[in-house]
Amino acid sequence: MDSVKPKRSLVEETYDILIDAICSGELPPGERLNQDVIAAQLNVSRQPVNSAISILRANGLVEDTGRRSVVVSSFDPQLFQSIFEYRKVVEPFAVELAARELQKTDRRHADRVLKVGEKAFQSGKLTDLVHADMQFHEMIYGWSRNQVIQTSMKTNWHHIRRSMAVVLRSPETVSQVWSEHAKIVEQLFDGNSDQARQTMARHIGGAYEAISADISDPVVADAD
Amino acid sequence: MDSVKPKRSLVEETYDILIDAICSGELPPGERLNQDVIAAQLNVSRQPVNSAISILRANGLVEDTGRRSVVVSSFDPQLFQSIFEYRKVVEPFAVELAARELQKTDRRHADRVLKVGEKAFQSGKLTDLVHADMQFHEMIYGWSRNQVIQTSMKTNWHHIRRSMAVVLRSPETVSQVWSEHAKIVEQLFDGNSDQARQTMARHIGGAYEAISADISDPVVADAD
DNA sequence: GTACCTAATTTCGTATACGAAATACGAAAA
DNA sequence: TTTTCGTATTTCGTATACGAAATTAGGTAC
């Protein structure tokens, strides 16, 4: 068992806390980030907070206002559309790659992930649902053995989570999502990789349809 | 006229200098980054250097050694393969998206970029060639109007540039690259988007073939 | 000569300090 | 009352300071 303490730095800790606050919607778009306040809340000096914000800025999750402050980036429907347009091509590709060499042990992992999804569905907690959804897709990215897909999608999920925090999904939609997940796994392990690919493409397309209607209006900072 | 000074911070300046040194091969894989030394060289304090390194670490370009130092990440052929596997799917897709709404003015831009490429080819300077190559592909990403493609490929080009610094390309290969670029533009503006897509797919595939042979061995840090 | 132990030095993370720039506020003039 | 200008305050970027961890070196025992 890995009981090593990674010994995370305060910069990392601060970064994780901030990105989580942003993605969960706790810090909504346009919200100002005051270094002194954050430092006080986390009981650290301003220095690690400053570094963490530098990373967030480099990743586009916060932006300078031209004034003296940084704010959480506005959530742009255009970006959301880009993400799903992108996913509709990349995720079926990930499925195709995953089919190359599936291990038998992977099946156990898949079943576990699907089970967690079921539980999250029954609990009805949005946070759990989003998390489980992400887990499933990240499993596929991992199977693809393509690092670029994994890292680019990691960034995308920050934005996806951010949008999910605003959007409510109907139970029927959620139910369908998880039956499609199961179907993809089934087809993959049955050797029908091409079908799995197509199912994934439809899955992403459908998810976008289901969600996009709700986020037609951009969420931006309050005008002064 | 935009005569505003972007007023870049020392963190940004330092980050750009470091990433450029890494991507150009000036700081080879395994090279240790000493904050004091870098700060002295750039005539800044260690603070912005520290922040810049935090960003590099978050982007995976440097990594902790478990000791007290960070080193430039080793260049992994596996990653290189992932990048081209990815590009072979994503770049043709970018071409497809680009075909949606091409502006007439874009043609002028394209011709300019192609011309710069020719010049770089004649000059024979590797740095210029790589830069021009990147310019061409980034033009396509821009035309796709898909932000995710743009940002993910931006990261990838750091790694691509890094590999290019090691790999020498034969003049014939380079020549072929640029005639293919021209062909893609031609096909796009002639409305043959599907052909342009296929040309791009062949282009990426060919580029990978041409390069991959030379980087079969991983470039890692010297063993102690 | 080799191995080990301890002290000195390096080097990093984080805290604190300082100066500059921008915003907020308040007073005076229209 | 509204606007404008000057001053006080906030807040950030960057410099400097400090303590801890790790590496290096040197010396001693075998």
pLDDT for A2: 38
Cβ atoms of A46 and A55 within 8 Å: the answer is no
What is the DSSP code string of B115-167?
HHHHHHHHH--HHHHHHHHHHHHHHHHHHHT-HHHHHHHHHHHHHHHHHHTT-
Same domain? B147 vs B187: yes
Residues B46 and B99 in one domain: no
Helices B77-98, A147-164: inter-axial angle, 10-degree rounding: 60
Assess whether A215 (CB) lies less than 7 A from strand C: no
Q: Does B2 score more than 60 pLDDT?
A: no
Q: Are the CB atoms for A72 and A109 separated by under 8 Å?
A: no
Contacting residues of B for A74, CB less than 8 Å apart: none
Say which residue, A156 or B1, is predicted with more confidence. Answer: A156
| CB-CB contact of A49 with A118 (8 Å) | no
Report CB contact under 8 Å: A146, B93. Answer: no
Is A89 in Cβ contact with B93 (below 8 Å)?
A: yes
pLDDT at B143: 97
> Same domain for B100 and B85?
yes
Q: Report yes or no on A222 lying in a domain.
A: no
In the sheet that holds B70-72, the strands lie side by side as B32-33, B70-72, B62-64
A50 → chain B, closest CA residue:
B51
Same domain, B117 and B168: yes
Chain mean position to CA A168: 16
Distance B186 CA to D14 C1' (A): 51
Let me know whether B123 and B35 are in one domain: no
What torsion, rounded to 10 degrees, do the Cα atoms B216, B220, B223, B224 define?
A: 170
Strand ordering across the sheet containing A62-64? A32-33, A70-72, A62-64
Q: Dump pLDDT digits (tens) for A100-140.
A: 989 989 999 999 999 999 999 899 888 888 999 999 999 99
Higher pLDDT, B75 or A182: A182
Q: Are residues B64 and B81 in the same domain?
A: no
CB contact under 8 A, B156 and A148: yes
Same structural domain, A93 and A22:
no
CA atoms lying within 13 Å on the CB side of residue B72: 23
- Positive or negative, the CA dihedral B98, A199, B78, B173 is negative
First to last CA, chain A: 53
Total number of domains constituting chain B:
2
Tokens 């060289």 -> residue: B41
Angstrom distance (rounded) from CA A195 to CA A180: 12
Q: Is the CB of A44 under 7 A from strand C?
A: yes
Same domain flag for A131 and A24: no
> What was the pLDDT predicted at A14?
96
CB-CB: which of A58, A85, A146 is closest to B146? Answer: A85
Instruction: Give the pLDDT confidence score for residue B17 in this predicted structure.
Output: 96
Same domain, B24 and B101: no
Distance B58 CA to C7 C1' (A): 36
Here the ipTM equals 0.84
The whole-number Å distance from A197's CA to D21's C1' is 51
Same domain, A134 and A187: yes
What pLDDT does residue A73 have?
92
Q: Given B11, B58, B149, which is nearest A86 (Cβ)?
A: B149
Q: Which residues of B108-126 are buried (b: 16+ CB within 10 A; e: fewer)?
A: eebeebbeebeebbeeeeb
Q: Which nucleotide is nearest to B37 (CA to C1')?
A: C11
Q: Residue A40's domain is classified under what CATH number?
A: 1.10.10.10
Does A4 fall in a domain? no
Distance from CA of B118 to the nearest CA of A (A): 30
Among B43-47, B119-123, B210-214, the range scoring the smallest mean pLDDT is B210-214
Nucleotide nearest to A7 (CA to C1'): C13
Terminal Cα-to-Cα distance of chain B (whole angstroms): 55
Nearest nucleotide by C1' position to the B8 CA atom: D13
Q: Is the pLDDT of residue B107 over 70?
A: yes
Parent domain of A41? 11-72
Q: What's the gap in Å between the CA of A53 and the closest CA on chain B?
A: 10
Q: What is the DSSP string of A135-198?
A: HHHHHHHHHHT-HHHHHHHHHHHHHHHHHHTT----HHHHHHHHHHHHHHHHHHHTT-HHHHHH
Last residue of a domain, one of A72, A89, A119: A72
Is A152's Cβ below 8 Å from some Cβ in B? yes
User: What is the mean pLDDT for each group of 10 consecutive residues in chain A (224 residues)?
Assistant: 60 95 91 94 95 94 86 89 95 97 92 95 88 96 96 92 71 86 96 96 89 59 40
User: B158 in a domain, yes or no?
Assistant: yes
- pLDDT at residue number B4: 47
Decide which of A72, A94, A123 is a domain's last residue: A72
Q: Does residue B3 lie within any of the structural domains?
A: no
> Considering the domain boundaries, does residue B96 fall inside one?
yes
Using an 8 Å CB-CB cutoff, list chain A residues near B93.
89
For the cut 90, the answer to whether the pLDDT of residue B204 exceeds it is yes
Q: Find where tokens 């916060």 sit.
A: A62
Strand D footprint nucleotides (protein C-beta < 7 Å): 10-17, 21-23
Rg of chain B (C-alpha set): 19
Contacts of B40 (CB under 8 A, 6+ apart): none
A142 within some domain: yes
Cα A157 to Cα A153: distance, rounded to the nearest angstrom:
6
Mean pLDDT across chain B: 88
Residue B40 has pLDDT above 80, yes or no: yes
Answer yes or no: is pLDDT of B224 > 50: no
Quote the pLDDT of residue B6: 56
Say what the pLDDT of residue B65 is.
87
Q: Does A223 map to a domain?
A: no
**Same domain assignment for residues B118 and B186:** yes
B53 touches strand C (CB under 7 A): yes
Q: Please answer yes or no on whether A58 and B59 come within 8 Å at the CB atom.
A: yes
Of A55, A86, A151, the CB nearest to B146: A86
Locate the chain B residue with the closest alpha carbon to A157: B148
What is the pLDDT, as a whole number, of residue B213?
Answer: 67
Q: Residues A106, A148: one domain?
A: yes
Residue A153: inside a domain: yes
Locate all alpha helices (DSSP H) within B32-125, ordered by sequence: 35-42, 46-58, 77-98, 104-123
Q: Does A176 touch chain B (CB under 8 A)?
A: no
Q: What CATH number did the domain enclosing B177 receive?
A: 1.20.120.530
Using a CB-CB distance cutoff of 8 angstroms, which residues of chain B are in contact with residue A89? 89-90, 93
**Residue of B11, B80, B86 to mutate, interface with A, max A Cβ within 10 Å:** B86
Last residue of a domain, one of A72, A94, A118: A72
